[in-house]
Chains A and B, each alone.
Chain A
Amino acid sequence: MNIFRFAGDMTHLISILVLLLKIYATKSCSGISLKTQELYALVFLTRYLDLFTDFISVYNTIMKLVFIASSLAVVCCMRMHRVVRRSYDKDLDTFRHYFLILASFVLALLVNEKFTFQEIFWAFSIYLEALAILPQLVLLQRSGNVDNLTGQYVFFLGAYRAFYILNWIYRYFTEQHFSRWIACVSGLVQTVLYADFFYYYFISWKNNAKMQLPA
C-alpha cells in the first residue's frame, strides 16, 4: 500500500467521523442528504460481498466492516432517531436517486471485468459511488448555506477521491500489471463532480467566511 492510498482511506474515514460527529454533537442532520447516505450504504454492501470469500489483509477487512457499519448507522440515525429525524431537509432532498441505482446497474451489466454475480455487483458499486454524491451536492446547492461540519464532511470526501487518483497514477508507474480502468474512469468522473464544490469551499476558506453556494 502506498502513501496516497493510505491518505485516501484516512480522509475517507475522517469524512465519516466528521459526519457522525455532526449528527451526534448537534443532534441534527440538516444539510445532509439521506439519499446520498442510503446510496453509500448500498455501495459498501454490494462492493464488500467479497468480505467472506477473498482475504486481502486485516486492514482491508476492518476498514470494510467500519465502512459498512458506519454507513448503516448514519442511515438508521437519520431515519429512526426521534430528534435527528426532525432536522432532515426532506423538501430539499428530492433528487430521484433510484435513477442513479438503475443506471449504475445497467452499466454494470454491460461493462464489468467478468460476468459473475460478485463482479457485476463490484462494478455496480464503483459506478454508484461515482454518482452517489449528486443528491448531497444538489441539497447544498438548494439550501445555499453550508454549515462548517457539513462543508468539512464533503471536503474530506472529495480529498479521498483526489488521493485515490494519485494512488492509481503511482500504481500505474510502479506495478507491472496495474490496469483497472473501470475504477479509474469512475473515480475521475466522481472527482470532477466535486470540482464546483471545491471551488466555493476554497473561496470561503480564503476569505475566512461561511461557505455559500450561488443560487
Chain B
Amino acid sequence: SPKENVHDEL
C-alpha cells in the first residue's frame, strides 16, 4: 500500500 505522506520537510 502507498506510504502516507508525512511532513518530513521543514
Contacts and interface: CB of A to CB of B under 8 A. Distances in A.
B8 A176 contact: no
A121 to B, nearest CB: 11
Interface of B: 2-3, 5-10
Nearest to A1: B8
Contacts of A176: 2
A179 B10 contact: no
Contacts, number: 26
A50 B8 CA distance: 11
A113 B6 CA distance: 11
Nearest to B1: A177
B2 to A, nearest CB: 4
B6 A180 contact: no
A183 B6 contact: no
Interface size class of A (residues with CB under 8 A): 20 to 34
A67 B10 contact: yes
A177 B10 contact: no
B9 A177 contact: no
Contact of B9 (A54, A179, A183): A183
Contacts of A179: 5
B2 A63 contact: no
A60 B6 contact: no
Given A176-B2, A177-B2, A122 B10 contact: no
B5 A56 contact: no
B5 A113 contact: yes
A177 B5 contact: yes
B2 A56 contact: no
A5 B2 contact: no
A60 B5 contact: no
A215 B2 CA distance: 52
Nearest to A168: B9
Nearest to A125: B7
B10 A63 contact: yes
Contacts of A177: 2-3, 5
